[in-house]
Amino acid sequence: MAKLIPAAERLVRARKLIQKARAFPIPTEGLGKSDLSFVAGVRDLLRQAKDMVKFIPQTAGVSAEMKEEVKKVYAEVEQAEKEIFS
């Protein structure tokens, strides 16, 4: 059975995934940022970040502050996607 990860740890891991997506190497040859493997790699990392925190708001006993942190993570994912692909 999988080990449960506390909500605070999930937020930390999600932010690490966002940083990893920002640091994903842009291909120097070919299409650059339009390269399919680059786009897929970055989007996969950002999807993992969202998946890491998506059930926190529905969990019983989660504080309002934690729910706000989840909203901030979603905003960070959107911002990272805009910055990376523009």
- Tell me the pLDDT tens digit for each residue of 9-59: 999 999 999 999 999 888 878 777 778 889 999 999 999 999 999 998 888
Which residue reads 């999600």 in tokens? 14
Phi, psi of 30 (to 5 degrees): 80, -130
Q: Which distant-in-sequence residues (6+ apart) come within 8 Å of 29 by Cβ?
A: none
Q: In angstroms, rounded to a whole number, what is the distance separating the alpha carbons of residues 47 and 3?
A: 21
pLDDT at 13: 95
Q: In angstroms, rounded to a whole number, what is the distance separating the alpha carbons of residues 47 and 52?
A: 9
